[in-house]
């Protein structure tokens, strides 16, 4: 994959086989960003500049719109732990497992005055952390909506099974709570098509070609048109319903001058680098392939073994498991993926002849 540093000065951006964009690691990560699903974003790829806050506020008639970015995941749970957040509604994630310092996250959840968890199964680590309300959520195959992939292609997702029991999609649950809080007019959606129309209209609001994300051609899409929508790439402004295959081919960028910008960033460094006395790197039981290709809740050692059986490319590496007994490690060969160390274990064991003193203790 060519480097953007080389592509941009050579004016090769948007040419055939000059792709430089990374692949996102989660299903519909692009779609989540488009609707403001990150703490540092407003909807439709807008941020928290004064101009953007005012624009979104005008569109929604919302004078009390958030004025600054919110907490990211780790920061959020730190705020919960110190009492800065009193109520939390968790949807579509299992933070009691996925966050670093999982024990700290679980302890923080128990401090909340109100913890609501929307889940598709009854028993998860987060659902077992003492929620005051446990709501039945619709699963992926029961939902109706859109997803966006890494090439900006929006595709319809159609349910192939009805929701089980009293399960409902997230948009319905949020809308019903909003209505009971007095915001019924703003959340009076008839279904996913109505939400999508509003989403498209916001992307085009006061845009006039100044922002890349623009779905203006879909802002008046009928329910039948939404149901039959075929995949398309944004931007798809008013008058261009087919979308745009290649961006920046005209050499124009979405900056005031229309020119691209280089932004210098410092090279990231480890807070503590390995050395001769402490040569290991530790994580919290998560390896690369669990994040992009595997179940994030799958035990670490099981993942190493599974990949060593199925993938035999590359140089064999070493996997080191930290056992519950303080001060011991057990090295074990697991094939093609190098895993320096992990604190994840599946069973208790007593130190034996295959164990050696743990150099990780300071």
- pLDDT 10s digit of each residue in the chain, 362 long? 445 555 565 566 666 666 665 555 566 778 888 998 888 999 999 999 999 999 999 999 998 999 999 999 999 999 999 999 999 999 988 999 888 888 899 999 999 999 999 999 888 999 988 899 999 999 989 999 999 988 889 999 999 999 999 999 999 999 999 999 999 999 999 999 999 999 999 999 999 988 999 999 999 999 999 999 999 999 999 988 788 887 877 778 888 888 888 888 888 888 888 888 877 776 655 555 555 555 554 554 555 555 444 433 443 444 555 544 444 444 444 433 333 333 333 333 333 344 344 343 33
Q: What is the CATH number of domain 4-70+138-233?
A: 3.40.50.740
Q: What pLDDT is stored for residue 279 in this prediction? A: 76
Cα distances from 298 to residues 117, 176, 224, 285, 317, in angstroms, run 22, 35, 41, 9, 20
Report yes or no: 296 and 284 within 8 Å, Cβ to Cβ.
no
CA 185 to chain CA centroid, Å, is 29
Q: What secondary structure does DSSP assign to 22-69, as a single string?
A: PPPSSTTHHHHHHTT-STT-BTTTB-SSHHHHHHHHHHHT-TT---S-
Q: What pLDDT is stored for residue 222 in this prediction? A: 96
Q: What pLDDT is stored for residue 190 in this prediction? A: 93
Residue 85: CB atoms within 10 A of its CB come to 17
pLDDT single digits (tens) 237-296: 998 878 888 787 777 888 888 888 888 888 888 888 888 887 777 665 555 555 555 555
pTM given for the model: 0.75
DSSP helix/strand/coil, 81: helix
Q: What pLDDT is stored for residue 223 in this prediction? A: 96
Q: What pLDDT is stored for residue 319 in this prediction? A: 52
Report yes or no: 206 and 57 within 8 Å, Cβ to Cβ.
no
Q: What pLDDT is stored for residue 316 in this prediction? A: 44
Residue 8: CB atoms within 10 A of its CB come to 16
Report yes or no: 134 and 119 within 8 Å, Cβ to Cβ.
yes
Q: What pLDDT is stored for residue 111 in this prediction? A: 95
Report yes or no: 215 and 234 within 8 Å, Cβ to Cβ.
yes
Q: What pLDDT is stored for residue 332 in this prediction? A: 46
For the chain, where do the domains classified as CATH 3.40.50.740 start and end?
4-70+138-233
């Amino acid at each position: 994959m060519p480097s953007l540093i080389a592509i941009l000065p050579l004016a090769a951006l948007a040419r055939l086989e000059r792709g430089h964009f990374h692949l996102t690691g989660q299903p519909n990560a692009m779609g989540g960003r488009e609707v403001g699903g990150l703490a540092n974003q407003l909807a439709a790829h807008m941020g928290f500049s004064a101009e953007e806050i005012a624009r979104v506020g005008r569109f929604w008639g919302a004078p009390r719109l958030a004025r600054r970015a919110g907490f990211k995941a780790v920061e959020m749970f730190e705020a919960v732990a110190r009492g800065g957040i009193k109520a939390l509604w968790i949807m579509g994630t299992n933070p009691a497992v996925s966050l670093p310092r999982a024990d700290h996250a679980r302890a923080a959840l128990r401090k909340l005055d109100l913890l609501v968890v929307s889940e598709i199964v009854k028993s998860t680590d987060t659902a077992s952390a003492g929620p005051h309300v446990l709501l039945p959520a619709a699963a992926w195959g029961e939902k109706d909506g859109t997803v966006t992939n890494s090439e900006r292609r929006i595709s319809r997702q159609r349910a192939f099974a009805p929701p089980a029991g009293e399960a409902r999609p997230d948009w319905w649950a949020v809308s019903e709570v909003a209505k009971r809080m007095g915001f019924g007019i703003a959340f009076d959606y008839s279904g996913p098509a109505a939400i999508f129309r509003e989403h498209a209209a916001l992307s085009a609001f006061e845009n006039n070609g100044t922002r890349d994300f623009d779905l203006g051609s879909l802002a008046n899409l009928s329910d039948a048109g939404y149901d039959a929508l075929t995949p398309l790439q944004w931007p798809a402004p008013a008058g261009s319903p087919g979308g745009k295959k290649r961006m920046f081919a005209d050499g124009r960028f979405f900056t005031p001058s229309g020119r691209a910008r280089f932004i210098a960033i410092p090279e990231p460094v480890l807070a503590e680098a390995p050395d001769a006395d402490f040569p290991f790197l530790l994580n919290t039981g998560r390896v690369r392939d669990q994040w992009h290709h595997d179940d994030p809740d799958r035990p670490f050692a099981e993942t190493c073994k599974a990949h060593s059986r199925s993938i035999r490319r590359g140089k064999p590496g070493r996997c080191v498991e930290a056992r519950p007994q303080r001060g011991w490690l057990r090295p074990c060969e697991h094939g093609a993926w190098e895993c320096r160390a992990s604190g994840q274990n599946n069973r208790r064991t007593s130190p034996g002849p295959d164990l050696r003193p743990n150099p990780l203790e300071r």
